[in-house]
Amino acid sequence: MTIKNRKLHINNISLTITAVLFVALFTFGSVSYDQFFSLSTFLNLFNDNAYLIIASVGVTFVLLTGGIDISIASTIAFTCVFSAYLLRLGVAEYIVIPLVLLIGILLGLGMGYMIQEYKLQPFIVTLAGQFFMRGLCSVISTQSIPITNEFYKHVALNKIKLGSGKIYYYVFIALIIIFAAVYLLKYTRFGRCIYAIGGNEQSANLMGLPVRRTKITVYAISSFCAALAGVVFSFYTLAGYSLQNIGLELDAISSAVIGGTLLTGGVGSVLGTTVGVLIQGIIQTIVTYQNLNTWWTKVAIAALLCIFIVIQRMISSRTEKGKR
């Protein structure tokens, strides 16, 4: 069995397990609770988690290369706070949104450059990025800043009705990111290079692939997606607060792992990550229906994360044994 076929085999099995889990949880909720089985419940998974989907897709690019980015939650918070601050000063939204996205890209490029050029650990560099962005939030304001901009309110409050459910405008931003990411990873040389680096960086170098440029770019993509998630989150909350989304980077990484992405890199998919986010959404919905403490969501996700890591390791070990 070739390395390429082995990774495809692992990816297919992981994605299948993720999809089965999603169906099982949705079925359990539908059987256990009235009005759970509805289009409204399904669409609300996207309405409530659009920003997390965008952030998780971005971090998937980094994980596929074998890296990690734990700065995304602070980038989201900074985007919300800085956007709210500028809007309060009267700066137009068509200036604010491109500016915060550009800041996200520059942050990612800076972290990627330091990781690649100075051979620093991604965890340490992105941890510094996390502290830096969270600190900037507090420098701007320690109080919640409301957003009263008409464009933000229009996007936040308007929706499209689909049968018994509804879908908000900002969800389409998440869908566009999903489709763009799938195309990049599956149908471009850049995507193939990402998988090659995650599989074996030394081999990718020997094949003449642009390893340096690709590894820097994936961090730029991750930070761009985090900034865009911050824009969507500001639509969702219509406010900016320095303590928003503490720990969200772990939700994004766990969504990718539950969706079949290996932490060692080289295996995973954006669709799997998206389903991983939806699984977290279903768990949160079930916890709400059950009227339990919201921390039970974290407990369930932690258990699933451990299970999926073990499953992935078992599949990988069996495939390696078969290859030998």
Per-residue pLDDT reduced to its tens digit, 231-287: 999 999 999 999 999 989 999 999 999 998 988 888 889 999 999 999 999 998 888
What is the band of 317 on the pLDDT scale with cuts at 50, 70, 90? low
The domain containing residue 170 runs over which residues?
Answer: 3-323
Q: What is the pTM of this model?
A: 0.93
Q: What is the mean pLDDT of residues 149-167?
A: 92
Interatomic CA distance for residues 18 and 76, integer angstroms: 27
> Residue 5's pLDDT is what?
56
Residue 323 has pLDDT above 60, yes or no: no
Interstrand relation of 145-146 and 159-162 (parallel, antiparallel or unpaired): unpaired
pLDDT in tens, 51-64: 999 999 999 999 99
Q: What is the mean pLDDT of residues 153-173?
A: 92
The CATH number of residue 249's host domain is 1.10.3470
Pure H helices in 90-210: 93-117, 122-140, 150-157, 171-187, 189-199, 201-206
Q: What is the mean pLDDT of residues 157-168?
A: 90
What is the rounded average pLDDT for all residues in the chain?
A: 90
State which amino acid sits at residue 161: K
Residue 316 has pLDDT above 70, yes or no: no
Contact 17, 307 (CB under 8 A): no
Residue 12 has pLDDT above 90, yes or no: no
> Residue 162's pLDDT is what?
86
pLDDT in tens, 185-242: 999 999 999 999 998 999 999 999 999 999 999 999 999 999 999 999 999 999 999 9
Note the residue count of the chain. Answer: 324
Q: What is the mean pLDDT of residues 140-144?
A: 94
Tokens of 57: 């897709």
Return the percentage of the chain with pLDDT > 90, whole number: 71
Residue 46 has pLDDT above 70, yes or no: yes
- Find all residues with CB under 8 Å of 41, minimum gap 6, and list them: 29, 35, 165, 285
Residue 123 has pLDDT above 90, yes or no: yes
pLDDT in tens, 177-189: 999 999 999 999 9
Query: How distant, in Å, are the alpha carbons of 60, 93, 281, 318 from that of 183?
Result: 14, 29, 25, 30
> Residue 239's pLDDT is what?
95
Q: Regarding predicted confidence, which is higher, 187 or 165?
A: 187
**DSSP structural state of residue 159:** E
What is the band of 163 on the pLDDT scale with cuts at 50, 70, 90? confident
What is the band of 33 on the pLDDT scale with cuts at 50, 70, 90? confident
> Residue 324's pLDDT is what?
53
Residue 43 has pLDDT above 90, yes or no: yes
- Find all residues with CB under 8 Å of 80, minimum gap 6, and list them: 230, 233, 234, 237, 239, 240, 241, 244
The domain tally of the chain equals: 1
